[in-house]
Amino acid sequence: MIRWIVGVGAGALLTVAGLIIILGNVEWVMRLAGSATALPNPESGNAVWIGVAFARVFGAALIVIGLLTSAASRLEDRAARQIRVPLAVGLTLLMVLTGIQALAIWSTPAAWVLWAIVAVACGSVFTWGLTKTALHGAK
């Protein structure tokens, strides 16, 4: 039950973070990521707008990962163990890269909140498939 609550909660947080990135006011979202300047007029090939477009794609990926995490947290036993490894590897990679970017580029509290959300999701996935038998041995 706790695994399900944490998994659904982590998935919901990832989904909400993705929705904020996609649907939020562009300048507000870019300020959350550390942009100190006003956005130039949108034009093809402009580096700032390429970054905005990539952020929106990243937001969509967060939504997908959040929905998968929430849905998969309901799985039991063998199914949970089978989805756990690829999801845990992906979330670990996302957590490491988000932490690196938060430290090196973004340097904002919002970046560390995003890192914490990914870290909680990653931690919740690592607990999947751990049954009483796996923890305490077969009886």
Q: How many helices (H) and strands (E) does the chain have?
A: 6, 0
CA-CA-CA-CA torsion for 27, 28, 31, 35, nearest 10 degrees? 0
pLDDT tens-digit readout, 19-73: 998 888 888 888 877 777 778 888 888 888 888 888 889 989 999 998 988 888 8
Measured between alpha carbons, how far apart are the two ends of the chain, in Å? 22
| Total-model pTM | 0.75
3-state class percentages of the chain: helix first, strand second, coil last, to nearest 5 = 80, 0, 20
